Structure 1
């Protein structure tokens, strides 16, 4: 039997730092309390035939035969465990789980994602979903240690680094030796990336000093803003409709035309009308089914219809912020409902009539309006809502 004392990741990190990290990520108070309790007071017992024995803290018990072959197998297992639990491997696994959950609500997704992970990790106004890139977020967190060393923070660890590694050398120009630990070489590598952000030993990217949340944006880099940002991420739009609009903006819907382009052997005609190639433009602007839905909506409201380019149509709306927001929300609801009916038609050979779809769109918008405080609406918006028959 072997009793091994594992040095876990949180054994080498100040617990106050862990608390600050959980605060920065806005986790609920109850969750933060449980995490801190787990890492500061975790103990374990051994269950034998249903009874608990022993009292172990940070220990692992291994049982093996006392022969040379068994000892070699244990050594191989230790080596495999060491490689598998490396930080970069953990980061890639976390990203894989997040990516798979986004597309399939599970940790295991085998198909090609509709949008690349690099795009997803951009901010919403840059065309992404605002999900954090774990690699750059990790760099931003390690960057705090780099900055502590740069400003010679009053910390035992920082003093130890200066006395044992730097020994008077300039931190920005310092190079670690090859026999340094992996952790120290990783810190130094990230420091090299951060050198352009320092002037005279001070982090000049933010005037109030280094913060991981804002420095993450520096590591990530900025991208051009997209012109459809306010159309999709509009407070009047239902969240699942926002996601659908985001996919349309990236031309990411798997229409039959797109699948044929990927080499899939399938008819590329619209399964609803069977009159034209199934593209996003056809489904949402040209297909007679979509036009009938809009005509039914028009019978209940005074709403115009785009001849082409649904997102372009949304960006051309005029009126107050509320009026443009509601019109955009109705268009994204149309996109969602038509795509939903298209899938029902293809997979179940059944779909709702345009009249029922139109009523559903109107009812959704009336529910959104009911959820707002009428006292905050100005007279012009109130009159417009009544004209659109959205205010009951």
Structure 2
């Protein structure tokens, strides 16, 4: 039985399979062979272990014989007190980081948050509820937003955009001036809040919609308190749209040395906003919201 399994693995086709294909082969062929023989004979324990080793080696290495020494991280030590050395892999460091996060959930080695015991789902829910809610989450994750606008804004809120200042801190960029105005260091605070180009774009949008679209964190307070209903939804949509298009123009200036005039960019943003509004409400809205939208030429007559 072992020879038959090894011969299957050593065949020419089996060596060229991908990881997913090897997994299918192990489950559908090798394990089936094992189950067939198990129904006829009582297989010795040493043979079962050999079969498991063959399947495991083939799945991970593509060969029946595994010559590499596996990594041993914990041996004879307590998992709760274990600290990863600096030369381990990124994935193992993240596993250990999660271990540190869930330490508080254990009392005398027992999972405390749920009497039914530990599961991955319960652990995830416990970690998710412990995290402090972000003030920008309802605005960024809004159904009125264009998905790609929400994505760029989400990255921006997590300080993940590769501005020149950030790239310079990694040693990948020597020039740190803003790609658009070339007057100050290009970081997220300057690009969205202080750059003259961004301020002119926001001023043009204000003239169109009648209220200030504040892309700072204070703008989140505006959308959450003083604005309600339709105006709040539109403000969220414009808020994320401005982040996306300003970042788009920054990349356009950096890669193509082309900058769209602020008036033209504001027109593009407002045109997208009109299309988004119409797709959400159609022509059935009335009352004060209807009057408000007619001033923007957003109503279908």
Q: TM-score, normalised by structure 2?
A: 0.61
1:205 matched to 2:114: yes
**Residue 164 of structure 2, aligned match among 248, 256, 269:** 256
Aligned length: 239
Q: Counterpart in 2 of 1:315?
A: 221
Residue 262 of structure 2 is aligned to residue 354 of structure 1 = yes
In structure 2, how many angstroms separate the alpha carbons of the residues matched to 1:290 and 1:346?
A: 16
- What does residue 240 of structure 1 align with? 148
Distance 1:305 1:209 in 2: 48
| Pair 1:302 & 2:210 matched | yes
Select between 271-280 and 255-264 the one with higher mean Cα deviation: 255-264
Q: Deviations over 1:365-387 (max 9, x none)?
A: 12211222448856333333333
**1:1-392 alignment, distance < 5 Å:** 2-4=3-5, 42-43=28-29, 57=33, 77-80=65-68, 83=70, 195-197=109-111, 205=114, 213-218=121-126, 222-306=130-214, 310-317=216-223, 318-374=226-282, 377=285, 379-392=287-300
Matched residues in 1 for 2:27 and 2:292: separation?
61
Contact 1:231 1:311 survives alignment (8 Å): no
**Shift in Å, 1:361:** 1.0
More strand by share: 1
Quickly say closer, same or farther: Cα 1:380–1:40, change in 2 above 3 A: farther
Give unmatched runs, 5+ long, in structure 2: 7-23, 35-50, 55-61, 72-87, 99-105
The 1:219/1:266 distance shift into structure 2, 3 A limit, reads closer
- Residues 331 and 39 of structure 1, relative CA distance in 2, 3 Å threshold: same
Q: Is the 8 A contact 1:270 1:276 kept in 2?
A: yes
Q: Deviations over 1:117-151 (max 9, x none)?
A: 97xxxxxxxxxxxxxx9x97xxxxxxxxxxxxxxx
Asked if the contact 1:232–1:242 (Cα under 8 Å) also holds between the matched residues in 2, the reply is yes
In structure 2, relative to structure 1, the CA distance for the partners of 1:386 and 1:214 (3 Å cut) is farther
Contact preservation (8 Å) 1:293, 1:354: yes
Flag the 1:341–1:239 CA change in 2: closer, same or farther, 3 A: same
Looking at structure 1, the residues matched to 152 and 276 of structure 2 have their Cα atoms a distance apart, in angstroms, of 18
Distance 1:266 1:225, change over 3 A: same
Cα deviation 1:301-354 (Å, max 9, x = unaligned): 323254xx6232132232213311211211211111111111111111113222
Contact (CA 8 Å) 1:231, 1:328: kept in 2 or not?
A: yes
The 3-state SS of whatever aligns with 2:65 is helix
SS of 2:200's partner is helix
Distance 1:369 1:79, change over 3 A: same
Change (3 A) 1:40 1:250: closer
Q: Is the 8 A contact 2:180 2:250 kept in 1?
A: yes
CA RMSD of aligned residues (A): 4.6
Question: Post-superposition shift, 1:283?
Answer: 1.6
Asked if structure 2 preserves the Cα contact closer than 8 Å seen for 1:320 and 1:381, the reply is: no
Does the CA-based 8 Å contact 2:283-2:299 persist in structure 1?
Answer: no
